[in-house]
Amino acid sequence: MSKSKRVTLITGASSGIGAATARRIAGPGECLLLHARGGVDGNKIPLFEAVADEARAAGAEVQISIGDLGEPGTAAALVNEAVEKFDQLDRIVSNAGFALNKVVGEITRDDLEYSHTIITGAFFELIDAALPHLTASKCGRVVAVSSFVVDQVPIKRMFPATAAAKGAMEALAKTFAVQVAAEGVTVNCVAPGFTEKESAGHSALSQSSWQAAAELTPNQRLAKPADIAAAIAFFLSDEAAHVTGQVLRVDGGLSLT
Ligand SMILES: NC(=O)c1ccc[n+]([C@@H]2O[C@H](COP(=O)([O-])OP(=O)(O)OC[C@H]3O[C@@H](n4cnc5c(N)ncnc54)[C@H](OP(=O)(O)O)[C@@H]3O)[C@@H](O)[C@H]2O)c1
């Protein structure tokens, strides 16, 4: 393995936090397997390709992969694709996800299971398939993008199915962190607060609710995707080698209210 080459798999990289993370870490020696669904009908594929082109322009080697994480096996196949293309896999950012704006009384059992499939299930598939590659890496890193909704209910109508799935993902991340710690692999979560959506992002809130969310946030603004990407990049870095099993809230102080 070339010492300077690092291979990173990022899910949900067509917009928002995933795209910002790709932009943030792209550079010479960085190999990126960028995944997205490409929009419900493929309408986001051009946007996704533009993100990949930006990363290439910054010096990274990039392959994109389109897949619906609702299909079992899709996430595991991404790991295999990364290894086939780049011969190794060092870092995973499990970012793809969504928020379901339905409360109990409206959520169905299928809704709950779908949230678990996309969020917890995909994260499980990624780490399960990547285990031998992460432990073989000299810089194994896993970052899962969680959410403030796990333990914050700042507005009355929140996202219980999303909270349940993200909470389960955090628990899985912490247990996996202990499992692989002796191999030098770190596993951490970043929990964004309310974060600006790109126009192509999937928003669960109305425009007025986003305004209210900014006002509820102590620093009086929404996070930018780049704010979240900066925290993800820290956990991916060599400097973060002694930090594992943590959940870092990047929320402008929301968790203090
Ligand atoms: N924005 C916030 O306020 C906020 C707050 C807390 C946590 N988060 C978390 O941050 C992460 C990124 O969100 P974002 O704000 O950057 O949203 P975004 O711009 O809508 O990006 C979501 C990404 O996930 C992908 N995705 C969604 N469902 C998928 C599925 N079934 N299969 C495959 N890919 C799927 C999307 O793919 P396509 O669009 O290409 O289909 C897209 O690339 C999510 O996990 C979200 O829960 C966001």
74, 118 contact by CB (below 8 A): no
99 lines ligand 1 (CB under 6 A): yes
0.95 surpassed by pTM: yes
Write the CB contacts of 214 (distance below 8 Å, at least 6 apart in sequence).
194, 220, 221, 222
Instruction: Select from 15, 65, 254 the residue to mutate for testing ligand 1; criterion: most ligand atoms less than 8 Å from CB.
Output: 15
Residue among 214, 125, 130, 110 at smallest CA distance from 172: 125
Write the CB contacts of 153 (distance below 8 Å, at least 6 apart in sequence).
none
pLDDT tens digits, 127-178: 999 999 999 999 999 999 999 999 988 777 789 999 999 999 999 999 999 9
Run of H or E residues at 75? helix 74-86
Domains of the chain, each with CATH number or no CATH: 6-250 (3.40.50.720)
Residue among 38, 4, 1 at smallest CA distance from 18: 38
Q: Which residues of the chain fall below pLDDT 50?
A: 1-2
The protein residue whose alpha carbon is closest to atom 7 in ligand 1 is 147
117 lines ligand 1 (CB under 6 A): no
The full DSSP string for 80-126 is HHHHHHHS---EEEE---------TTT--HHHHHHHIIIIIIHHHHH
36 lines ligand 1 (CB under 6 A): yes
Residue type, 205: L
Question: How many angstroms separate the CA atoms of 257 and 254, rounded?
Answer: 6
195 lines ligand 1 (CB under 6 A): yes
User: What's the confidence (pLDDT) of residue 2?
Assistant: 45
